[in-house]
Structure 1
Amino acid sequence: MKHKTTSVLMAAMALSLGFSGMASAQDAAPQHYTFGLMLSAMTPYFATIKSGAEAEAKKLGVQLLVEDGNNNSITQNNQIDTLIARKVNLLLINPTDAKALVPAVEKANAAHIPVIYIDRKADGGHAIAYFASDNTQAGAQACQYIANKLHGQGNLFMLLGISGASATNERTAGCESVLKSYPHIKVVARQSGGFSREGGLTVMRDVLIANPKLNAVYSENGEMAIGAMRAAAAAGRLKGLTIAMIGSGSFGETQLVKQGKIALSVAQQPAVMGALGVQAGYSYLSTGTVFVPVPLHMDLAPSHS
């Protein structure tokens, strides 16, 4: 059986200089900056963003202050307030909630501290760049795969991310844009697993009990997909169940795809996002380079079990 891993990345490239602007910034006289990296949580996925950002910060001589928001928008707002008071040079923000983080972003704007979004964005305020997966496309790819596997007919469970997160909204919209063309695919449930493995396992248990004829699961991240897979395996219902996820591209997730336990991973590149965010911030502060979003599509990388 063929299983697939594909990657999509939405980056922000220099308006006139492309990535050469970043390279020239690194070659120029060294500047000493302090950046804040505000992560919504410290899951394996976000820890990989952190690792990518830290590696790039070390290359550039940037001091990187990392904060874990614990999936709490109040906590994250307070953390951002603290770093604004410390007068950091730039904030890399991965918002817990697209709406709830707007006041913090606006405070950073008022303090003339540049903001770059990583993986997710807020609904307001100004950012100089946004590095994330093309979440809408990723959701569409995963659900198109499911539709093809089911031959346009069957029962589907949509395992959603954190309510209010931009990634959740965009991935769900992408999936549902595909499902409109398949009236015989019935969505039996739409539930949030909170982007966590435990959440995916818990809600999947309930969905399996309520739906004895479940054909497929669409999961908006890898952690929830692993939880759902384990729940299905424990219930003796993994065989014949198509699980498609928007993953992190981690070794563990890739192995599950190769083993056939998960059918498809639309793999993100979190380390690249973190590194590009630091590069862009350094380039902006050093040269004033302006960035615009450009979608970067990685090659389809199939593997066989």
Structure 2
Amino acid sequence: MKNLLKLISLVMLVSLLLAACAQPTPTTPAQQPTTPPQTGEVTLGLVISTLNNPFFVTLRDGAQKAADAAGVKLIVVDAQDDSAKMTAGIEDLINKKVSALLINPTDSDAVVPAIQKANDAGIPVFTVDRGANGGTVVSHIASDNVAGGKMAAEFLCKAIGGKGKVVELQGIAGTSAARDRGQGFNDYMSASCKDAQIVAQQTADFNRDKGLKVFENILQAQPEINGVFA
């Protein structure tokens, strides 16, 4: 978390330089986006998938601290885990002619058209924690989620003595974080923890309340569980 927040601080400063000095790469040869005029004040837009999650609250707070230190204005949009709201929020920030966009996608595919609109408007785009599957992105700031999933699997495997019944609670389908963490977890379990059995894999959408309900339902069918990856 500390390293991620340091990177967020760094990208804020990079955004300032890019907005003032550079023009992003065109999305296609036929489209030549123009850099929006700068009026002196730098305004950054931060679009977060949800603020109903302590991790993203911390991310917002770190971004605000970095923006304050850099002397720039930060506008935060909470998409409430809704791709339509995220698109609307990004389009509103484009209309406000922000200097750069920091986006934490709710869905890696659904966010692409909005990123392309920012590209056309000449607004630099950065993705945070979760990647996008298209559009021109200056930089992606995140931890290595495949490695994170593998580390979690290794820890869990040792905790259960290399055998037993395991449940996997997955994140929001369509997000790079859920896909990559699941990949790292399952690759390790299948290769290095073969005596453990994954008896249930269900989506909990990175939501604590839903995770609780989903796991309670799983326990009805599988009352003996040795470990959970969430």
Same fold (TM over 0.5): yes
Please tell me the residue identity of whatever aligns with 1:41: T
What residue in structure 2 maps to residue 203 of structure 1? 214
CA contact (8 A) 2:100 2:125 kept: yes
In structure 2, the CA distance between the partners of 1:164 and 1:11, relative to structure 1 (3 Å rule), is farther
Distance 1:214 1:8 in 2: 34
CA distance in 1, matches of 2:156, 2:49: 29
Secondary structure class of the residue paired with 2:46: strand
Aligned ranges 1:34-183 → 2 under 5 Å:
34-42=43-51, 43-181=53-191, 182-183=193-194
Alpha-carbon distance in 2 for matches of 1:32, 1:84? 16
Cα-to-partner distance string for 1:31-51 (whole Å, 9 max, x where unaligned): 630010000000221111110
| Matched ranges for 1:252-271 at <5 A | none
Contact 1:11 1:132 in 2 (8 A): no
Question: Is the alpha carbon distance of 1:148 and 1:119 closer, same or farther for their aligned partners in structure 2, counting shifts above 3 Å?
Answer: same
Contact conserved, 1:38 with 1:67, CA < 8 A, in 2?
Answer: yes
Report runs of 4+ in structure 1 exceeding 6 Å deviation.
10-13
Shift of 1:110: 1.2
Partner of 2:23 in structure 1?
A: none
Percent of aligned pairs with the same residue?
37
State the 1:12 CA deviation: 6.6
Match of 1:290?
none
Q: CA deviation at 1:130?
A: 1.3
Alignment check: 8 A CA contact 2:126 2:137 kept:
yes
9 and 153 in structure 1: CA distance in 2 versus 1, 3 angstrom threshold = farther
Superposed CA RMSD: 2.3
Looking at secondary structure, tell me which structure has more strand per residue: 1
Contact 2:5 / 2:63 at 8 angstroms: preserved in 1?
A: no
Q: CA deviation at 1:160?
A: 0.8
With normalisation by structure 1, the TM-score equals: 0.62
Q: Which residue number corresponds to residue 194 of structure 1?
A: 205
The residue aligned with 1:237 is: none
Q: Which runs of 5+ in 1 are unaligned?
A: 1-5, 26-30, 220-305
Rounded Cα–Cα distance in structure 1 between residues aligned with 2:168 and 2:2: 20
Partners of 2:5 and 2:62 within 8 A in 1: no
Q: Which has the higher contact order (CA 8 A, sep 6+)?
A: 1
Any idea what SS the aligned residue of 2:44 has? Answer: strand
Q: Could you list the runs of 5+ residues in structure 2 that have no partner in the other structure? A: 18-39
Kept in 2, the 8 Å contact 1:10–1:133? The answer is no
Q: For residues 77-107 of structure 1, give each alpha carbon's deviation from its aligned partner in whole angstroms, at most 9, with x where no partner exists.
A: 1111111111111000000000100111111
- Residue 65 of structure 1, CA deviation: 0.6
Q: In the alignment, residue 88 of structure 1 is paired with which amino acid?
A: V
Q: Helix, strand or coil for the counterpart of 2:224?
A: coil
Q: CA deviation at 1:192?
A: 1.2
Give 1:119's aligned amino acid.
D
Deviation at 1:126, TM superposition (A): 1.3
Structure 2 length-normalised TM: 0.82
